[in-house]
Structure 1
Amino acid sequence: MTEESMTAENPADKRRRGALAFLRDLVIIVIVALLVSFLVKTFLVRSFYIPSGSMENTLQIDDRIIVNELVPDIVDLQRGDVVVFTDPGGWLNSPPPDADVPWIVSAWDGLLNSVGLSVSDSNDHLIKRVIGLPGDHVTCCNALGQMSVNGVPLNETYLLLPQSAQAVSATSFDVTVPDDSLWVMGDNRYNSKDSRYNGNTPGKGYVPIDNVVGRAFVISWPIARWQWLGDYPETFAGIPDAGS
């Protein structure tokens, strides 16, 4: 028997070893993918759908949004941010009914869910725009019908208002935001149950910063509405810090 024949590998054994190596690599890939998706969902981004028209026209009913979960734990909140938060208590008398979702949207949600980005609890959350940070003095309305933060009137170009509206809010208010809390309002200002209308809840209409899940930064669905969500820095420019 030659040395070559003694060292030659049986083809069947070679195929078996190759199959085992493939399965090993596949298991490693799946485990790494699950770990990465878990970390992404837990610490980076999540997807939510919009169940109501309170943020029109910025957000439409059944829009899907991606939320940056680094806000506010690592990245500070800013006035103008669109934030998702859990109900502080009493804001949602009952969860909105499940939407009649087209199959293609369900497939999209399933894809996001498969990589750990989609969530099944959008009905337990709300989404509004941050107007007042802790300590801010927020008032409405001045002679021009504008809202003011720390004495600076706001030119809110993102609002949806009735043609007959004489002011940016149907109700007047004068509040100072408590520590570790936010004053939030919907862009569809005459059709939004926001901080103005939750004064009889345990939190008196303010949203604890601890309740904030993250900042919405992009509309991911439908495709025709893909866009970044800005915080309108020009609207909130020049506002002094609270108490200054």
Structure 2
Amino acid sequence: MIAGVFAALCLSTAGAHAADEREAAAKTLVSAGLPVWLAQAGAFTADMTAIETATERSAHGLAATLPRTCDLARMNRDLCGVKLVRIPSTSMAPALLVKDTVAVLQKDFGAVRRGDVLVHNAKYQGAASPTTLGITRVIGMPGDTVEIHAGEVLVNGKPLAREVTGETYSDDTFSAAVLRETTPEGRSYTIAMPDPRPRTQADDFGPVTVPADKYFVMGDNRYNSLDSRFPDMFNEDGFVAQPDVVGVAASVLAAGDKERIGLTLR
């Protein structure tokens, strides 16, 4: 009995120490870059108290998503496998906005799961560069059948659950209702749906079956994203192949809205 309690105490202590190490490692990365990231997001401030608060939020969100093997030594060696990405478009709004700086786990993130935000190599028809980075959310896993009816997404014949949040997302071009969508596994995220919906190819699609070693992906800004619903314009067949996955988005390191700093994505 005593031995069991001692072992549990040791495990708890080790876990707390590892969490502290990840927090310290995250703060090392964030402290060095946050002022620049905030300026890039249009949120420059000389207020040191505001910077310290944002640093704590950003580091805490990052630490919660870092691999267990991350500590100060590894952060100094290879950034714990983290890649920094600035969001270039509104296709993933409202979760990710233009000029956000996002931490992407390039390794040690385990298997790709439905609901993950993938950063991947992509080929867009008519793009100046043959390959660029795409940022989309995994909707269909290998072997799944995906279809869309009147904007509603069905996976293997069952619609993804949705609920109205009462919030809105708007930019310079349009306004949309923010809905919460939930996968069959219980993972939730927000999407932007204009009302009324425009009638496009994105409104009714499929069914298609996702090939082995590929993913069906969509942007959260459902009517402002070039993704798997447009196979003639996206990756030649509309899917993201596993070898093209660069990593999985983990957290928002910096944003124009201070309340979104530290938002975890996985």
What's the TM-score once normalised by structure 1's chain length?
Answer: 0.60
Contact 2:84 2:103 in 1 (8 A): yes
Task: State how far apart, in whole Å, the 1-side matches of 2:227 and 2:134 are.
Answer: 9
Match of residue 145 from structure 2? 137
- Give the 3 Å change call, closer, same or farther, for CA 175–50 of structure 1 in structure 2: same
Q: Percent identity?
A: 33
SS of the equivalent of 1:76 reads: coil
Map 1:158-197 to 2 at 5 A.
158-165=190-197, 169-197=202-230
Task: State how far apart, in whole Å, the 2-side matches of 1:167 and 1:135 are.
Answer: 28
Task: State how far apart, in whole Å, the 1-side matches of 2:75 and 2:154 are.
Answer: 43
SS of the equivalent of 1:197 reads: coil
SS of the equivalent of 1:160 reads: strand
Q: Deviations over 1:189-241 (max 9, x none)?
A: 0010111113355641111011111111100012712133345xxxxxxxxxx
SS of the equivalent of 2:229 reads: helix
Gaps (5+ residues) in structure 2? Answer: 1-71, 163-179, 181-189
- Select 1:124's aligned residue among 122, 132, 155: 132
- Give the 3 Å change call, closer, same or farther, for CA 187–219 of structure 1 in structure 2: same
Match of residue 58 from structure 1? 95
Match of residue 154 from structure 1? 160
Q: Deviations over 1:60-107 (max 9, x none)?
A: 101110011126xx60011010110012x3357136xxxxxxxxxxxx
SS of the equivalent of 1:227 reads: coil
- Select 1:211's aligned residue among 239, 244, 260: 244
- Give the 3 Å change call, closer, same or farther, for CA 35–44 of structure 1 in structure 2: closer
SS of the equivalent of 2:204 reads: coil
Note the C-alpha offset of 1:174.
Answer: 1.1
Task: State how far apart, in whole Å, the 1-side matches of 2:126 and 2:117 are.
Answer: 18
SS of the equivalent of 1:39 reads: helix
Contact 1:84 1:127 in 2 (8 A): yes
What's the TM-score once normalised by structure 2's chain length?
Answer: 0.55
Contact 1:91 1:198 in 2 (8 A): no
The one-letter code of the counterpart of 2:116 is D
Task: State how far apart, in whole Å, the 2-side matches of 1:182 and 1:50 are.
Answer: 21
Name whichever structure is richer in strand by fraction: 2
Note the C-alpha offset of 1:151.
Answer: 1.8
Task: State how far apart, in whole Å, the 1-side matches of 2:249 and 2:261 are.
Answer: 13
SS of the equivalent of 1:83 reads: strand
Match of residue 39 from structure 1? 78
Matched, 1:228 2:259: no
Match of residue 78 from structure 1? 113
Note the C-alpha offset of 1:141.
Answer: 1.3
Task: State how far apart, in whole Å, the 2-side matches of 1:64 and 1:92 are.
Answer: 26
- Give the 3 Å change call, closer, same or farther, for CA 171–185 of structure 1 in structure 2: same
- Give the 3 Å change call, closer, same or farther, for CA 203–178 of structure 1 in structure 2: farther
Report the aligned-residue RMSD.
2.8
Task: State how far apart, in whole Å, the 1-side matches of 2:191 and 2:75 are.
Answer: 38
- Give the 3 Å change call, closer, same or farther, for CA 84–61 of structure 1 in structure 2: same
Structure with max Cα Rg: 1
The one-letter code of the counterpart of 2:197 is A
Contact 2:228 2:234 in 1 (8 A): no
Contact 2:227 2:234 in 1 (8 A): no
Gaps (5+ residues) in structure 1? Answer: 1-32, 96-122, 232-244
- Give the 3 Å change call, closer, same or farther, for CA 186–53 of structure 1 in structure 2: same
The one-letter code of the counterpart of 2:160 is L
| Aligned length in residues | 165
Q: In terms of mean alpha carbon deviation, does 204-213 or 155-164 score higher? A: 155-164
